[in-house]
A = this chain, B = another copy of it.
Amino acid sequence: MRCDVLAIGTELLLGQIVDTNSSWIGEQLASAGIDTLEHRKVGDNLDRVVRCIRSMLEVSDALIICGGLGPTPDDLTREAIAEVMGVPLERRDELVEWIANLFGGRGRQMPENNLRQADVPVGGDVIPNPIGTAPGLRCEVDGRVIYAVPGVPYEMHRMVSEHVLPDLLERSGQRAVIVNRSLKTWGASESGLAEMIAEQVDAQTNPSIAFLARGIEGIVVRLTAKAPTVAAAEALIAPEEARLRATIGDLIFGIDDETMEHAVLSRLEARSWTLGVAESLTGGLIGSRLANVPGASHTFRGTIGSYATAVKRSVLGVTAEHVVSADCAQQMAEAAREVLGADVGIAVTGVAGPGEQDDQPVGTVWFGLAIPGVPTETVSTRLPGDRERIRQFSTISLLNLLRMRLDALA
């Protein structure tokens, strides 16, 4: 089964919006074991959309068309599919009513244009859209299938997950469910990780094991199992996940959508410990990421973004002569705990560039961790890259250090 993707919108060609939809769909298709071999972007032009659909269906069993289902005259996906099918559009009463109700429910009058969204090529099926005005379409042409989904990402995600993928799997005769489990790691390179678990990766076909490099989000080791039921797929994953954890467990900070900051906050919350941060080169970035976790207020007290040396001295009471040093990181971590009234204090100081500081080269970073019951610890590292990358890597590296230290406590 091969399913290609066509993204529609002149704004995509002009670079006003980056087409992330086809990447997301490609990832879903790959996880489901469906080949996806070509993706295209084309503008809002009926002739060109029709030509694209025709030429893509020549080589593919299925096509997902993304976008062009809106209410304005330049939304042409419905017309293009009808032309490819050689049928007219018909206005579906139940869709008219449904769209009118949507507007009525929000106390707004339905613009005449929105009626276009009730048009369906004769013989086509409607894919319901529970969270937007644009219904999706499923249409068959000469034994091939076309799915049309909205360009708005969260509407598209839901329609593809709930309708398109199950339908494709059914058609492919797989009659199987796909279950993914992502183990999110930090601290090893992709090749380093691959080496550690090479034997298991090579031997495994179901679940398959893949590596996805996610930059600042680390490297994901993804297990993908196919089975007749979710329970059966999960039963295939469990022993392989256990084997992976036996080898690289220390590097795994979370699963699936869990972020590093969530991993840290949940571990602290389990101990009823609060956290304070003192940060120099990151200027508030660590606090910002922690504050973005819903429910952070149970645990996260705040951050002192002590960018200027004078602020390190006046607010944090740092006496260390050099501000890029173990002494300074230690004093900052202890002050974060004290000034912010927290159980745990963490700190980072370093040189983000562009120039050297205190004779230390760009990328030199010192971390401090003040954790109850153990002596305050300092760790130094040397990070590559530009200013922004050094700041981002400092943030995630410090949070990961804290995670590992918390896991190592009795």
Contacts and interface: CB of A to CB of B under 8 A. Distances in A.
Nearest to A7: B39
Contacts of A282: 288, 291
Consensus secondary structure, chain A interface: mixed
Contacts of A15: 23-28, 30
A107 interface: no
A318 to B, nearest CB: 12
Contacts of A22: 41
A113 interface: no
A283 B288 contact: yes
A93 interface: no
Contacts of A45: 37
B340 A311 contact: yes
A297 interface: yes
Interface string A270-313: 00001001010111111111111010110011111111101100
Among A22, A30, A291, A300, max chain B CB count under 10 A is at: A291
Given A302-B304, A307-B287, A292 B38 contact: no
A222 B188 CA distance: 43
A378 interface: no
Nearest to A14: B30
A388 interface: yes
Contacts of A25: 15
The 8 closest A-B pairs by CB, nearest first: A283-B291, A284-B284, A284-B287, A15-B27, A303-B305, A287-B305, A285-B288, A15-B23
Interface of A: 12-20, 22-28, 30, 36-43, 45, 48, 52, 55, 212-213, 274, 277, 279, 281-292, 294, 296-297, 300-308, 310-311, 314-315, 339-341, 352-354, 387-388, 391
Given A37-B45, A38-B52, A294-B387, 11 more contacts: A15-B23, A15-B25, A15-B30, A18-B19, A38-B48, A297-B308, A301-B308, A303-B304, A303-B307, A305-B305, A315-B340
